[in-house]
Chain A
Amino acid sequence: MTAQLKLDAKASAAGGQPLTQKGESLWKDALRRLIRNRAAVIGGIMILILYFFAIFAGVLAPYSYEKQTLTDQNKVPQWLINVFPTMKPYAQVSENYLMGADYVGRDLFSRIVYGARVSLTVALIGPFISLLIGVTYGSISGFFGGRVDNIMMRLVDVLYAFPSLLFIILLMAFFRSTFSKPDPGTFSYALSQADARLGGMLFIFIGIGLTAWETMARLTRGQVLSVREKEFIEAARTIGATNWRIMFRHILPNIVGPLVVAETLAIPGYISTEAFLSFIGLGVNPPTPSWGAMISDGAQVVRTYPNQTLFPALALAITMFAFNFLGDGLRDALDPRLRGTQ
């Protein structure tokens, strides 16, 4: 309140505008609070930088992600030997690689930069699929209520009883072998071609999408149920608004806040799911670099060349941090009550 008054005072001092208390939209208000949250801003900037790396990987990475130089296996630059002195007796020095080369002589730094593509695409597509399915499903269920709601939610309950990590492993195995050698011209052929072009990411998206929408559906349903009974919906109905219009113009805009928050906080989960799938070899197809797969490869030689697992792990951790900071800030900004009264 005082901050608002001060702002108004400043505005009137600077521009000589009359002092009127303008109503602020929820989003503007939230944005102001978000910008004031230092951790969230840092998270947001880190995410922008990461996307910059992912998009311009071709320019920023000194080597291609798949170029193997077998004579340069496990080579490390001098600065790494200073950091990890245990390497000194056996490590071969090469200044060509900023973070060293991996077990087949690929540049670790380039692979980490390209690896951002996988994680950050998952961070985009995961919420997209889960919102698309979850919000559609949840709003139909909540809006129509009654028997429809009952049947739709029982299905969600069943899917909820699936241990999701096990389910996703089973799904990945299913996709990988069903679409491994399809006949040309069929739908599964088109799918497998698309997957191959994406380096194996398509099936990861589908897998994550199929397991992630249930939470979103439940949340949306609950929100729709509570908004649906409000007076302004009744008002809209009395002036003859269609179901469609009520859903999109009146209900959805009112429940977007919690959905955005929940989805942002779910992103680190998608990223780590992809990383885990790649870690156990069910994720991206080699040689497409994924941080999860790189951590797994590096873990084999963690005793001798810790750089090969620590750097991808660091990249993954930074990304997770950034999304968690942003999600946390977003939650506090959109619903200040959750942060505790001040």
Chain B
Amino acid sequence: MGRYVARRLIYLFVVLFAVSAITFGLMHAVPGGPFDKEKALPAEIIRNLEKRYHLDEPLLNQYLRYVKEVFVPEFSTTKFSSNFEDDALFKFKIGGVYVKWMNFGPSYASRSRTVNDIFRQQLPISIQLGLMALLVAIIIGMPLGIIAALKQNTIFDYISMSVAIFGVSVPVIILGPVLIWIFAVTLKWLPATGWGSKPPYLLGFLPTSMGWNFFKYAIMPPVALGLASSAIIARLTRASLLQVVREDYVRTARAKGLQERLVITRHALKNSLIPVVTILGPMFAALVTGTFVTETVFGIPGMGKYFVISITNRDYPVIMGTILLYAVFLVIANLIVDILYAYLDPRIRYD
């Protein structure tokens, strides 16, 4: 197992290098530069700006510099300055040594903020949204799937599965405006746009207060985002539970006279949730990526806004950082799933 994880971690780095190289190449292949403005800047100034951000160097050097800044930790005996070149996502002190790790570079468009700042302030919002959407998906999806499977081919089954089809059929760009129209415009219960948490965050990503001022913003977006995933969970739960209730050990449990409720909860449900639990990892990664749409619809100041703007602005570090970060999310989520599989189902071995 340890060997397998080690191999996967090496593989993770290979994939991330590939992703960063492809993104870097594609990004620089897009014509136009970050300092092309409607009103052209003097050539001298552009030259200076490019020099400041090392954009005048050969592309390979730029790429290697970027990789080094992000992956290789730097150590120093003196405190790092607050200059953008000395900024990093993680800055801490062990013993007498100052360490900085993962510098995603400056943002060309908003000069006062580095990409690290954007990650620190905007990413928690996207994660909060993604987590709550996942919660919505589980709370709606699992019961639907369980009911559908236990009452297979009855009206409950058909209703549950119709709800599931409804869920996958209304993406955020449909559900979002409709929810806004119902709950914000017509009923005036909830605000149409915005988000209720600001930095500093608890543990780096949790809102510090969870009162109505937070939740009034955080009801519609997670529902709009999570509904489609709840449909996926419902279908998966149903299919898996249907399979499990026909297993021999469930029959054995029944044969020894166990109550039906106990048979379902102790024996059937527990095993049928293995595939469901393992899908939650990639689903969370997909939901955090999916917040892009939701953030646009509900005007939430998360990462999504910055990514779309950064592409039109050719804000290279923001583009690179965002894609890399989400790739890390995806790859790690998949890794966790594979490990979880072996843990939950002892028949699976990776050696």
Contact = CB atoms under 8 A, between A and B. Distances in A.
Nearest to A341: B246
A180 B178 CA distance: 35
Contacts of A169: 292, 307-308, 311
Contacts of A310: 177-178, 181
B27 A166 contact: no
B311 A320 contact: no
A280 B296 contact: yes
Interface stretch (A51-59, A201-209, A268-276): A268-276
Main DSSP-derived SS at the A contact region: helix
B292 to A, nearest CB: 6
Interface residues of A, number: 48
Given A165-B292, A324-B165, A170 B323 contact: yes
A275 B173 contact: yes
Contacts of A324: 165, 168-169
Given A268-B169, A338-B239, A162 B185 contact: no
B278 interface: no
Given A169-B308, A340-B242, A299 B15 contact: no
A173 B318 CA distance: 15
A161 B330 contact: yes
Interface string A172-190: 0110011010000000000
A177 B29 CA distance: 10
A213 interface: no
Contacts, number: 129
Given A161-B15, A177-B31, A170 B23 contact: yes
Interface string B106-141: 000000000000000000000000000000000000
B181 A302 contact: yes
A317 B170 contact: yes
Interface string A287-329: 0000010011011001100100110010011001100110010
B173 A166 contact: no
B170 A320 contact: yes
Interface in B3-37: 15-16, 18-19, 22-23, 26-27, 29-32
A279 B30 contact: no
B118 to A, nearest CB: 15
B174 to A, nearest CB: 5
Contacts of A302: 177, 180-181, 185, 192
A157 interface: yes
Given A173-B311, A302-B185, A161 B292 contact: no
A298 B297 CA distance: 12
Contacts of B300: none
A158 B18 contact: yes
B174 A316 contact: yes
B326 A163 contact: yes
A320 B68 CA distance: 45
Contacts of A317: 169-170, 174
A167 interface: yes
Contact of A295 (B168, B174, B312): B174
Contacts of A342: 153
Nearest to B322: A166
A60 B327 CA distance: 46
A236 B26 CA distance: 45
Contacts of A276: 171, 173, 293
A174 B152 contact: no
Contact of A279 (B18, B173, B242, B311): B173
Contacts of A272: 171, 173
B165 A328 contact: yes
Given A170-B311, A317-B170, A162 B29 contact: no
Smallest CB-CB A-B distances: 6 pairs: A163-B326, A320-B169, A272-B171, A158-B18, A163-B289, A313-B174
